[in-house]
């Protein structure tokens, strides 16, 4: 999914549903979700890679990633 987006893109509504479900199973879900989720975007991360970011209602953001092994793929 990540490869379908460029840096700076907002994630579409269908993919956002999948990301939200995945994020709810993240080991640090409460910390990552914080005060809530407005939407998701793709931004640069460490070492020039890209990852998903949670955009919250208070304007803060948080990066997160998941591994395929968690979901069997």
| CATH number of the domain enclosing 58 | 3.10.450.40
Q: Tell me, what's the pLDDT at 22?
A: 93
Q: How many residues does the chain have?
A: 73
Does residue 73 fall inside a structural domain? no
Instruction: Give the strands of the sheet with 50-55, arranged side by side.
Output: 39-44, 50-55, 61-64
Does residue 56 fall inside a structural domain? yes
Does residue 71 fall inside a structural domain? no
- Report long-range pairs for 21-28 (Cβ below 8 Å, ≥24 apart): 22/66, 22/70, 22/71, 23/54, 23/64, 23/66, 25/66, 25/70, 26/64, 26/66
Does residue 35 fall inside a structural domain? yes
* In the predicted structure, residue 20 carries a pLDDT above the cut 80: yes
Residue range 51-71, pLDDT digits in tens: 999 999 999 999 988 765 344
Instruction: Give me the domain span that covers residue 35.
Output: 2-66
Using DSSP, state whether 29 is helix, strand or coil. Answer: helix
* DSSP state at residue 10: B
Number of domains composing the chain: 1
Kindly report which listed range (1-5, 34-38, 55-59, 64-68) carries the lowest average pLDDT score: 64-68
């Amino acid at each position: 999914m990540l490869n379908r987006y460029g840096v700076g893109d907002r994630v579409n509504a269908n993919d956002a549903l999948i990301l939200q479900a995945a994020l709810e199973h993240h080991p640090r879900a409460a910390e990552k979700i914080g005060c809530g989720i407005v939407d998701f975007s793709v931004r640069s991360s460490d070492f020039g890679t890209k990852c998903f970011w949670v955009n919250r209602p208070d304007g803060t953001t948080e990066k997160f990633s998941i591994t395929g092994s968690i979901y069997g793929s």
